[in-house]
A and B are shown apart, each in its own frame.
Chain A
Amino acid sequence: MIQEENVYVGVYKVLMAGMALSTLFFIVGVVLSLAHPAVVPLNRDWIRAHYHWSVVLSGFAHGDPASYMLTGTLLLILTPVMRVIVSIYAFFIDKDYKYVVVTSIVLLVMVLTVILARFGLT
């Protein structure tokens, strides 16, 4: 007597896709980095210098390992976010509105985290 079958199927698919995609990007990044072993800085400014679409895209074109690894990291972080969004949708389809609210609060905490990190904390 499994209820919320839609939610189970949706959650499972998102988890599998996120895992496969991010692993793929990580592997490509590590392989590329091994082609040219180099000294990699450990500081925050170096890391944050990659946070631009233009840098990531030109990195893809030039085979910059950082671009691939950054994309893998982002995909990995976004997987649970997607999982929450898919769950809200699936609970909604099932007309389980109580859990639409419960799950939406979780999404709200994630949004709050982004806002706090962008404006003020870091």
Chain B
Amino acid sequence: MYYSYEYVFALLGAASLAGLLGALLGVGGGIFIVPVMVLAFRLPVKIAVAASIVSVIATSNAGGSKYVDQRITNLRLGMFLEIATTIGALSGSILALYLSEWVMLMLFSGLLAYMGYTAFVTRRLDDARIASGAFAAARQDRLSAFLDISGDYYDQAAGRTVEYVVTGAPIGAAISYLAGMASGLLGVGGGVLKVSAMNQHMNVPMKAAVGTSKLMIGVTAAVSSILFFLAGLIHFYVVAPVAIGTTTGATIGTMIMNRLHSAYLKWLFAVLMAYLSYGMLAKALAIHFGLHLPVLV
């Protein structure tokens, strides 16, 4: 790799854009930056995944600290689920060491397609649950009761403090394990999976789930990073511009996000996911089968 001005600034720019888009669309930057590094910068998949997972720590630090400061994060819930996500990350990153490039490309292509699809089907039902006080009235299972997790945060949009009782600890831990595994294997944060698990199965309001997920992502990504670092897969010349870029982009994105959530953004997201998914699939087929799909744009 020739580390020229053009290369560094292109990488910085691409990473900033990935971080910005990630923050605007409510996902981490990893889902964009890995395909961009592979398809546009022609970096090996494992180098891209390893660099991405380190930059995921950076964005988690930046976003996570904000939610901790505002006391939206539920620390007990986060610490408990981190047991599952870190074990998942360990298994995922071990798998990444041994899988072939083309298999990882196929898996990533599948993840992108899935993310694009779910952008359409997710609906936010929080408002009704907040208004009826349903979050505070749930019954806990035995594990959740033992862990004694509940919480409250001030919701600016609803103009009131929202109290909630956490339930469904076993299913939440199981999904978190899978999210951790996806994170370690593919270099993404896995936040979307964790947030929907907490919101739909554990009775956690959306905002608290997002804040808690952001915090957990850092610890989860640290486990995969430790493994990749000791395996010699983390290339610091790639990590440095990518980490600076994603953090800057994510910070700007979070600031301008406010009320940008619209159907238009979901469309943009779905189209991007479909495009990148196709690109990763095409690369996998080209590497392994020598089969060349038509290149789009």
Q: Which of B163-180 contact A (CB under 8 A)?
A: none
* B234, A99: Cβ atoms closer than 8 Å: no
Distance, CA A27 to CA B73, complexed state (A) = 30
With beta carbons under 8 angstroms apart, the residue of B61, B222, B243 that contacts A110 is B222
* B1, A79: Cβ atoms closer than 8 Å: no
Query: What chain A residues lie within 8 Å of B226 (beta carbons)?
Result: 77, 110, 113-114, 117
* A30, B218: Cβ atoms closer than 8 Å: no
Query: What chain B residues lie within 8 Å of A114 (beta carbons)?
Result: 226, 230
- Known A23-B247, A37-B4: A76·B58 in contact at CB below 8 Å: yes
CB distance from A113 to the nearest CB of B (A): 5
Q: Which of A46-98 contact B (CB under 8 A)?
A: 47-48, 50-51, 65-66, 69-70, 72-74, 76-81, 83-84, 87, 98
* A122, B222: Cβ atoms closer than 8 Å: no
Query: What chain A residues lie within 8 Å of B97 (beta carbons)?
Result: 121-122
Query: What chain A residues lie within 8 Å of B243 (beta carbons)?
Result: 22-23, 26, 72, 76
* A4, B94: Cβ atoms closer than 8 Å: no
With beta carbons under 8 angstroms apart, the residue of B2, B234, B239 that contacts A37 is B2
A interface footprint on B23-45 (CB within 8 Å = 1, 0 otherwise): 00000000000000000000110
User: What number of B residues sit within 8 Å (CB to CB) of A?
Assistant: 60
* A42, B43: Cβ atoms closer than 8 Å: yes
Distance, CA A25 to CA B225, complexed state (A) = 18
* B240, A80: Cβ atoms closer than 8 Å: no
* A30, B244: Cβ atoms closer than 8 Å: yes
CB distance from A102 to the nearest CB of B (A): 5
CB distance from B85 to the nearest CB of A (A): 9
Distance, CA A72 to CA B57, complexed state (A) = 12
Q: Which of A1-46 contact B (CB under 8 A)?
A: 1-2, 4, 7-8, 11-12, 15-16, 18-19, 22-23, 26-27, 29-30, 33-34, 37-42, 44-45
* B68, A15: Cβ atoms closer than 8 Å: yes
A interface footprint on B120-154 (CB within 8 Å = 1, 0 otherwise): 00000000000000000000000000011000100
Query: What chain B residues lie within 8 Å of A79 (beta carbons)?
Result: 57, 61, 218, 222
Q: Please choose the segment from B76-84, B101-109, B283-291 that sits at the chain A interface, where 4 or more of its residues have CB less than 8 A away.
A: B76-84
- Known A83-B219, A98-B147, A109-B87: A37·B225 in contact at CB below 8 Å: no
B267 at the interface (CB under 8 A from A): no
CB distance from B115 to the nearest CB of A (A): 24
Closest 9 CB pairs of A and B: A69-B236, A44-B232, A117-B230, A80-B222, A15-B65, A122-B231, A48-B232, A109-B86, A26-B240
A residues near B (Cβ < 8 Å) are 1-2, 4, 7-8, 11-12, 15-16, 18-19, 22-23, 26-27, 29-30, 33-34, 37-42, 44-45, 47-48, 50-51, 65-66, 69-70, 72-74, 76-81, 83-84, 87, 98-99, 102-103, 105-106, 109-110, 112-114, 116-118, 121-122
A-B contacts, 20 of them at CB < 8 A, read A11-B68, A12-B68, A15-B65, A19-B61, A26-B244, A33-B3, A38-B2, A40-B2, A70-B236, A72-B239, A72-B243, A77-B54, A77-B226, A98-B147, A106-B82, A106-B219, A117-B229, A117-B230, A117-B231, A121-B227
